């Protein structure tokens, strides 16, 4: 068997000339097919990376914006409260000042007067008490005005919201399929548009009005009165 083996190993065949060209073409085609895939993968990887980075940046920014907004909201809420209270106070002070321009003057003046009157007038205490009462009433009035203004500021918001919701959402009537439509398979739209329900033959019994039915006063058959409305009514 060794002789056969040695013979076999020595044996060679001549390869046809175009075999290398065919192989080269095949190798070139394989190289061309592989290269674009690699480039495509590169581009895809870059795009995915960009999208990932962009998304992460956006998320980070969005979160920071959200935090900032929340902080801003908290600040504004607290600030608004302070601001409102300040405004109210300033407004009230102004109002009070406007309303009671006489108050301070009158207080000072009245005190002076009272002091002067205490010396001179025979009824000085009355006047002083009256002035004090007047001042108290003015203060009460201003307090009431303050409370009214606060209520006016806080109340109208929910009302407006309710009004807007009522305007935006008009009630739509629900449409139900009737039993006759289900039984006879008549298309709803066609049935409604083309044929009225009375033409279908089977309908839901309408509420009977007296105007729809004939209402004879008298029914005669072969000269005999079968029905007379007047006689019935009179009887």
Site of interaction with other proteins (CB under 8 A): 1-5, 7-9, 11-16, 19-20, 22-24, 26-27, 30-31
Report residue 32: phi and psi, to 5°: -65, -40
CB 94 within 8 A of CB 88: no
CB-neighbour burial class of residue 168 (10 A; exposed 0-12, middle 13-18, buried 19+):
exposed
Of 21 and 80, CB closest to other proteins = 21
Beta bridge partners of 4: none
Reference 113, options 101, 99, 127; nearest CA is 127
Of 9 and 160, CB closest to other proteins = 9
**In 3-state terms, the chain is what percent helix, strand and coil (to 5)?**
75, 5, 20
Of 8 and 213, CB closest to other proteins = 8
Give min distance, CB of 22 to other proteins, in A. Answer: 6
Give min distance, CB of 1 to other proteins, in A. Answer: 5
Give min distance, CB of 34 to other proteins, in A. Answer: 9
Give min distance, CB of 51 to other proteins, in A. Answer: 34
The residue with tokens 């009522």 is 166
Of 6 and 140, CB closest to other proteins = 6
Of 24 and 71, CB closest to other proteins = 24
Report residue 225: phi and psi, to 5°: -80, 115
């Amino acid at each position: 068997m060794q002789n056969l083996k040695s013979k076999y190993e020595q044996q060679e065949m001549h390869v046809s000339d175009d075999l290398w060209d065919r192989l080269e073409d095949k190798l070139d085609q394989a190289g061309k097919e592989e290269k674009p895939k690699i480039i495509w993968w590169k581009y895809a990887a870059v795009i995915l990376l960009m999208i990932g980075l962009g998304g992460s940046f956006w998320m980070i920014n969005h979160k920071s914006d959200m935090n900032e907004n929340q902080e801003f909201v908290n600040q504004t809420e607290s600030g608004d409260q302070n601001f409102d209270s300040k405004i109210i106070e300033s407004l009230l002070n102004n109002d009070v000042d406007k309303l009671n321009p006489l108050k301070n003057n009158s207080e000072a003046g009245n005190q002076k007067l009272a002091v002067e009157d205490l010396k001179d007038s025979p009824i000085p205490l009355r006047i002083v008490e009256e002035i004090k009462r007047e001042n108290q009433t003015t203060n009460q009035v201003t307090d009431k005005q303050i409370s009214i203004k606060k209520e006016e500021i806080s109340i109208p918001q929910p009302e407006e919201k309710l009004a807007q919701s009522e305007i935006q959402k008009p009630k739509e009537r629900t449409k139900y399929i009737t039993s006759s439509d289900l039984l006879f398979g008549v298309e709803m739209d066609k049935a409604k548009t083309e044929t009225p329900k009375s033409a279908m033959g089977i309908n839901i019994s309408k509420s009977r009005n007296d105007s729809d039915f004939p209402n004879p006063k008298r029914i005669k058959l072969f000269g005999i009165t079968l029905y007379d409305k007047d006689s019935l009514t009179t009887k």
